[in-house]
Amino acid sequence: MDPQLEAFLRQVLVGLSIGCYLALIALGYTMVYGIIELINFAHGDLFTFGFFISLTIWGLFDVPMPLQGAWILALPLIAVVVVVLTGGLNVVIERVAYRPLRGSSKLAPLITAVGVSFMLEAIYAYIWGANQINYPRFIPTTNFLSDFSRIIRFTPRDLLLFGVTIPLMIGLTLFIDRTRLGKAMRAAAQDREAAAMMGINVNRIIAITFFIGGGLAGIAGMVYGLYTGSGRFIMGFEFGLFAFTAAVLGGIGNIRGAVLGAFIIGMVQAMSDLYIGGEWSRVIIFSLLILMLVFRPSGILGSTQSVEKV
């Protein structure tokens, strides 16, 4: 195979990988915005919490590397615990920091979200340290495509990443579209007062939205640790900004738009790294954000104001 084509296909896989965990973070951004129109800048730090808390849970046991036998079955159980903890943390943040400001000007909760983000990062640095942290190499790096190419790599880590994130994205879409609770969330997003008059407990719906968004970010953090093998207390800030860009690109408040935007950002970063240079990737991504806000603020698929609400 042509080496240039191999390099291109390798970056396509890299772009899809980045898009997968960005999509899980972006979904939380867009769900919260769809319900209460808050840009929760602390959301990226839940991604970091998922990374650290899963690392702590793994550390409680003498786990073989790579995972073998019954420990492979423990993986989904630990993922469930991570979802509960990160989702619960997000619910506590909403109850303590955001709910009292509901009804005030939009600037107050926005600044509060930034403050919560800094607070969480300081706590992470205090508990887990400010240096780069290695995540155990539980998943082997055997290349399934080694017989076909030495450049293109598809390993069990890629399989784990796609196997976890894609079903979650599909499941969330079906949950929002087809379940009674999903319909209640869409009703609250359309008009909270009207939803309350129809008997919907809006506070409960908002809490559930924060729980789901936090849980998805937590799973993304755990999968990111298993996939890349390292992380740092401040990484949620950058990934949060990328995910926010993805949500705006696709149309903030729009579930499908967040997923589409995440994969576009992933591809842009992967191709920019190969053809332009990694030092320009952030410039290009945030230039896209600026251009989108200037020329099409509703995003590619339309924001909550035009097409679809959560």
- Tens digit of each residue's pLDDT (9 = 90 or more) over 137-149: 888 888 888 888 7
107-164 tens-digit pLDDT:
888 899 999 999 999 999 999 999 999 998 888 888 888 888 778 888 888 888 888 8
Give mean pLDDT, residues 36-41. Answer: 82
Is residue 64 over pLDDT 60?
yes
- pLDDT tens-digit readout, 83-97: 999 999 999 999 999
**pLDDT beyond 50 at 43:** yes
**pLDDT tens figures, 219-244:** 999 999 999 989 999 999 888 889 88
What pLDDT score does 304 carry? 56
How high is the pLDDT of residue 303? 63
pLDDT of residue 307: 39
pLDDT of residue 225: 93
Q: What is the pLDDT of residue 278?
A: 84
Share of the chain above pLDDT 90, in %: 39
The pLDDT of residue 39: 82
On the question of pLDDT at 310 being above 90, the answer is: no
Q: 24: closest CA among 228, 206, 162?
A: 162
